[in-house]
Structure 1
Amino acid sequence: MQPEEFTLFVHERGTALFRDMPWRRDTDAYNILVSEIMLQQTQVDRVLPKFEAFMARFPNVAALASSPLSDVLVLWSGLGYNRRAKFLHEAAKMIVREFEGELPSSQAELTRLPGVGVNTAGAIVTYAFNQPVVYIETNVRTVYLQHFFENNSDVSDAMIREKVEATLDRNEPRLFYWALMDYGSWLKRNGVKNIARSKHYRKQAPLEGSVRQVRGRIVRALTLGECSLDALQKAVDSGDGRFEKAYEQLLLERLIQQQGEQVRLTQ
């Protein structure tokens, strides 16, 4: 398939498979930032209700930046990977402090924000500013592995980037990437399991039995309010050593605070 044919094919699939999402209805840069951070390692169906609640509580970057981290963590609870909430909160404060409250439209400047890597920055400039930049994520890998690397293994992102560069719709990059997202998601739902052929594939460790699981339980317990360390441990600890590791990590990352014997989410 020639590049032009592939680009047209992706748009056709995108039209047929289009998924309505609030951050597609309103492509304000703040909406895109919040949605992209939430979507890191989290499926769309889980993000949708959290996004709506988050935007109702923190409707703009100034509202988020001026709120205590504890309020952000309460809204985030249930999404997992709570460090993302802290990164987003810190990013909002940096945007207010250094960019006069407006998200920068440069991919390079966006990567200065906490929690925003090159690919997340690429997604933001694509969806918020309709800029034709190349970025790679799971659905992009799925589509290009399916059409250009069907008989290959150990495919690098550099190889995929070359194909994206050649097929990217530079007039309508936002619509093109939406189509890639929806087509890639459809492929996976219909049995295409090619992502292990990516050189960068790393199977996510199971949540059950992990320190990450206990981290989430600690944060969730503290969303109900401050409590003693002893009470927290009794409520959360499974007696296998994970509580101590999780608790120490959360303290070091400043997601929780301990004053005397009392523990709370960081204010």
Structure 2
Amino acid sequence: MKSKQLDTATIEQFKKTIWHYFHTQGRTFSWRKTTDPYLIVVSEIMLQQTQTFRVEPKFENFTAHFPTFQTLATAPFSEVLRCWKGLGYNRRALALQKIAQEVVHNYNGILPNDPEILDSFPGIGPATAASICAFAFNKPTIFIETNIRAVFIHFFFQNQTKITDAQIYPLVAQTVDEHNPRNWYYALMDYGVLLKKMYPNPSRKSAHHTKQSTFEGSNRQIRGLILQALLEQASCTFEQLCCAINRDKNKIAEMLNELIKDKLIEYHDPFFKLSS
């Protein structure tokens, strides 16, 4: 399928609309007040699949405890997880610490500004690598996230459904602000939040749109309960975990195997403990 090409007038009007809203009603977050690559990495990992209102207090607490790549890289994982607790998707906490260790051990504590290098880091895919480079280094990279997707669908695909990111991506590239990509992407995200308040979620027209599964009774909940128990007790047998969690034993065993595979916990017969 041939990608859509926008004319100059359309691009300029689009930018004018987005910038006007941002300059008058843009949101303020602490991670937007810095270009420190470490703080940008922390915020971008936290913001994966997590809303800003949940991230903001955790970001402040986490970066107070671990203010640099070095402090995070050398911290016990139990401390990292304790500060992460409440954000969910706990694999991100481990990935974030491994990113810090990679930067400290292999890049002299300095985050590379190359998205291809960042894409090779744990927990960082192409979109997050590009967003980190945009926000930390003001590089005009191209990426899509949920609010950006909503904006482009609303403006350029109004009467269509099952729109793919492959269709949107060229339009993001055509409209990116080459001189100030950092604030341009913040502006797009803020306009996307506005659209979701004004209209039924525009992202529902995306071919990639999925509804998040219910947390109560989910595998994610059981994984979280296991990690919480190991934070409180340091080490537990299988039977102790079953008593503490009070869930189906087969499901607990399955989640324990997943957590071991993800390297979040370790098993030293007969005890389970957080990864060291």
TM over 0.5: yes
In the TM superposition, what are the counterparts of 1:44-55 in structure 2 within 5 Å? 44-55=52-63
Asked whether the equivalents of residues 143 and 184 of structure 1 are also in contact (C-alpha less than 8 Å), the reply is: yes
Q: What is the match of residue 231 of structure 1?
A: 240
Matched, 1:74 2:82: yes
Q: What is the match of residue 5 of structure 2?
A: none
Asked whether the equivalents of residues 17 and 183 of structure 1 are also in contact (C-alpha less than 8 Å), the reply is: no
In the TM superposition, what are the counterparts of 1:195-234 in structure 2 within 5 Å? 195-229=203-237, 230-234=239-243
The one of 95, 120, 141 equivalent to 1:87 is 95
Q: In structure 2, how many angstroms separate the alpha carbons of the residues matched to 1:189 and 1:70?
A: 38
CA RMSD between the two structures = 1.4
The one of 166, 170, 187 equivalent to 1:162 is 170
Q: What is the match of residue 3 of structure 2?
A: none
In the TM superposition, what are the counterparts of 1:25-64 in structure 2 within 5 Å? 25-64=33-72
Q: What secondary structure sits across from 2:267 in the alignment?
A: strand
Matched, 1:241 2:250: yes
Give the alignment's TM-score, normalised by structure 2.
0.93
Q: Deviations over 1:54-85 (max 9, x none)?
A: 10111000111111222111111111111111
Question: Is there any run of 5+ residues in structure 1 with no aligned partner, and where?
Answer: none
Q: In structure 2, how many angstroms separate the alpha carbons of the residues matched to 1:203 and 1:241?
A: 27
Asked whether the equivalents of residues 70 and 100 of structure 2 are also in contact (C-alpha less than 8 Å), the reply is: yes
Q: In structure 2, how many angstroms separate the alpha carbons of the residues matched to 1:57 and 1:112?
A: 26
Asked whether the equivalents of residues 230 and 236 of structure 2 are also in contact (C-alpha less than 8 Å), the reply is: no
In the TM superposition, what are the counterparts of 1:78-227 in structure 2 within 5 Å? 78-227=86-235
Q: What is the match of residue 267 of structure 2?
A: 258
Q: What secondary structure sits across from 2:131 in the alignment?
A: helix
Which residue identity does 2:145 align to in structure 1?
A: E
Q: In structure 2, how many angstroms separate the alpha carbons of the residues matched to 1:240 and 1:186?
A: 44
Asked whether the equivalents of residues 118 and 129 of structure 2 are also in contact (C-alpha less than 8 Å), the reply is: yes
Q: What secondary structure sits across from 1:223 in the alignment?
A: helix
Query: Shift of residue 215 of structure 1?
Result: 0.2
Query: Shift of residue 240 of structure 1?
Result: 6.5
Which residue identity does 1:235 align to in structure 2?
A: A
Q: Deviations over 1:16-68 (max 9, x none)?
A: 22111111111211101000000000000111111111101110001111112
Asked whether the equivalents of residues 144 and 160 of structure 1 are also in contact (C-alpha less than 8 Å), the reply is: yes
Q: In structure 2, how many angstroms separate the alpha carbons of the residues matched to 1:146 and 1:191?
A: 10
Q: In structure 2, how many angstroms separate the alpha carbons of the residues matched to 1:128 and 1:95?
A: 15
Q: Deviations over 1:110-151 (max 9, x none)?
A: 111111101001110110001111100100000110110000
Q: In structure 1, how many angstroms separate the alpha carbons of the residues matched to 2:236 and 2:183?
A: 51
Q: In structure 1, how many angstroms separate the alpha carbons of the residues matched to 2:261 and 2:177?
A: 44
Asked whether the equivalents of residues 87 and 114 of structure 1 are also in contact (C-alpha less than 8 Å), the reply is: yes
Query: Shift of residue 198 of structure 1?
Result: 1.1
When the two structures are aligned, how many residues end up with a matched partner? 267
Q: In structure 2, how many angstroms separate the alpha carbons of the residues matched to 1:166 and 1:134?
A: 10
Q: In structure 1, how many angstroms separate the alpha carbons of the residues matched to 2:248 and 2:208?
A: 35
Q: In structure 2, how many angstroms separate the alpha carbons of the residues matched to 1:145 and 1:9?
A: 15
Q: In structure 1, how many angstroms separate the alpha carbons of the residues matched to 2:98 and 2:196?
A: 34
Deviates more, 1:219-228 or 1:38-47: 219-228
Q: In structure 2, how many angstroms separate the alpha carbons of the residues matched to 1:252 and 1:113?
A: 18
Query: Shift of residue 97 of structure 1?
Result: 1.5
